[in-house]
Amino acid sequence: MMGFGAFAKKIFGSRNDRIVKGLMARVAAINALEPEVEALSDEALMQRTSDFKERLAKGETLDQILPHAFATVREAARRGLGLRHFDVQMVGGMVLHDGNISEMKTGEGKTLVSTLAAYLNALEGKGVHIVTVNDYLAQRDSQWMKKVYDRLGLSVGVIVNGLMIRSAGSPMLPISPMAPIMNSASIICATI
């Protein structure tokens, strides 16, 4: 015999199922923008970053520009990496943007998912920190995703062994615990 909780879950789905279902409507809005964004030149794609910053300065919220921003990142990833965010990865990006945890297995695209929330939140100009488990991944991910962020006009840095690298090929700079360099790039990849 099935308990009431199990019965309700079977009928209405889990809390997670309901959240994901709600986010899928936003994914549909992002997908609808894809042809428009695909048609942009590289310069026009990069210009969208300035346009989004201007919209934020005029009072729009990150949530209001999210569909356009995510569609822009998806296109930058397609051009820079040859990778297109899947719908489920868009959901993961929204979950991260909302300050929640999105559980993903090895190979499901965590690094690519992070570009969505990182880009959106970097538009406020406060800097975004992406934390990973070791220095190798921090360096690999920053160099790999730089191909996306460069197309969007954002700078990327990485902290490896207590040294800050502003971008690929730049010299390493020692940092102190309170160093302002932590915010010298739009997006910083580091370890815990």
- From 54-68, 135-149, 171-185, the region with the lowest mean pLDDT: 171-185
Q: What is the pLDDT of residue 178?
A: 41
Instruction: Identify the CA nearest to 129 among candidates 88, 159, 93.
Output: 159
pTM over 0.85? The answer is: no
- pLDDT for 164: 64
pLDDT above 70 covers a percentage of the chain that reads: 80
> The tokens of 132 are what?
């990973």
Question: How confident is the model at residue 185, as a pLDDT?
Answer: 80
pLDDT of residue 22: 80
pLDDT (average), residues 169-189: 60
Share of the chain above pLDDT 90, in %: 54
Q: Could you give the CA distance from residue 154 to residue 49 in angstroms, rounded to a whole number?
A: 8
Report all structural domains of the chain as residue ranges with CATH numbers, in order of start. 1-126 (3.40.50.300), 127-192 (no CATH)
Whether 101 and 131 have beta carbons less than 8 Å apart is answered as: no
Which pLDDT score, from 0 to 100, does residue 187 have?
A: 87
Angle at 165 between CA 168 and CA 186, to 5 degrees: 85
Q: How many helices (H) and strands (E) would you count in the chain?
A: 7, 5
Mean pLDDT over all residues of the chain?
Answer: 85
Predicted confidence (pLDDT) at residue 119 exceeds the cutoff of 80: yes
Mean pLDDT of 66-89: 98
Per DSSP, 39 falls in state T
Length of the chain: 192
